[in-house]
Amino acid sequence: MYIYIQGKILFSVIKCLLYLFIVIILIICIWSVFLFSKKNKAHCFRSKPLLTVVIDTEEEFNWSEDFNRKSRSVHNISSQHLAQNIFKKYGIVPTYCVDYPVVENDEAIGVLKDWADKGECLIGTHLHPWVSPPYVEEVNRYNSYAGNLPYDIEKEKIETLTNAIEEKTGQRPKIFKAGRYGAGPNTARILKELDYKVDVSVIADTNFSHDHGPNFIGLPTQPYWFDVDGVKILELPNSRGYDGLLARWGRFLYPKIAGATGFRAFVAGGLANTRLLERIPLTSEGIHIKDITRMVRKMIHIGQYHFNYSYHSSSLLIGGTPYVTNTKELEIFLQDMDQFYDFFINEIGGEHKTPLDMYDMLA
């Protein structure tokens, strides 16, 4: 009994200290709002909620193994009709950002081209540098973020893929998404030179520098323009929203004190368990439909109106990603997609827009 009481007291002390720590950081974060640069300022929407859907359309490979140029199977493309039927049900025109293994496979790109020709989807660009020519760089984690490559290599890879998509589909892609969110210091310049209009590579409030990737902390969570030598390109950040008492300050607070590993993971768990703050991605990959909908409701309540839903094409193939490993998980994945679109379109009165629709609307 004595040990039990001591344990409860210790837990209470730790909990109080955590609350105090969070309050101090919150005060710092609110103050830091006034210190942020106004560059790349996000758009404010005075309309109904807007939804874009962007799919990382790529080869299936073992995510736990090293990157391999020989991993080029695209069997998952034959399963994309499972989601496409749901999109048609709600009048959604998704964007399939395709990488080189998809483009080089005539059957795979043919499936997507058929839908694009009917106006049922858009086709954009998705760069996995390790499977995209020219094959000149060493295959490793650092180089898996294309933004780490020298300017000339990154540009040649994007240009080669862009030209291949145009050759196979008859349409030059205008929407770009870096594989692994790996935009770098030269990416914007390259997109401008290749006449892209929209980028969807950014995950705001996220730092991949621990894995040699980019640091997006401080960038807006809503659509914004970035200027490249007088040419504007629209950024549609991947949606990561918040729920909880501190959700309004989530984008300033969460990146400073919480995360996926070590003590930051402990803090993240504490914040979520106490319902103070929980970060929730807008995807059906490992995220329950109830969590997605409560996050969207909260974000709309605090003034966010654009949401960018994404997933990997390989999640529609059993065993293609860690999120779908059996028939039951695939059924749940598709069911959650269907329920989310019904919630967004019919329940809260949202509206679907393609990335190019957003470009025209905000231009």
pLDDT for the residue numbered 32: 43
Per the structure block, which two tokens stand in for 55? Answer: 């799919």
**How far is 174 from 236, CA to CA, in rounded Å?**
13
**How far is 293 from 296, CA to CA, in rounded Å?**
5
Give the global pTM. 0.89
Per the structure block, which two tokens stand in for 229? Answer: 């030598």
Per the structure block, which two tokens stand in for 343? Answer: 């919630």
How do the domains of the chain map onto residue ranges? Answer: 58-239+350-362
- pLDDT tens-place string over residues 285-339: 999 999 999 999 999 999 999 999 999 999 999 999 999 999 999 999 999 999 9
- pLDDT tens-place string over residues 212-271: 999 999 999 999 999 999 999 999 999 999 999 999 999 989 988 887 777 888 888 888
For tokens 């679109």, what's the residue?
341
- pLDDT tens-place string over residues 326-341: 999 999 999 999 999 9
Kindly compute the dihedral angle of the four CA atoms of residues 64, 68, 74, 80, in this order, to the nearest 10 degrees. Answer: 40
pLDDT for the residue numbered 35: 36
Average pLDDT value for the chain: 91
**How far is 4 from 7, CA to CA, in rounded Å?**
5
Strands 231-235 and 224-228: antiparallel
**How far is 314 from 350, CA to CA, in rounded Å?**
27
Pick the CATH number of 58-239+350-362 from 3.20.20, 3.40.630, 3.90.550, 3.30.70: 3.20.20
Per the structure block, which two tokens stand in for 242? Answer: 């918040």
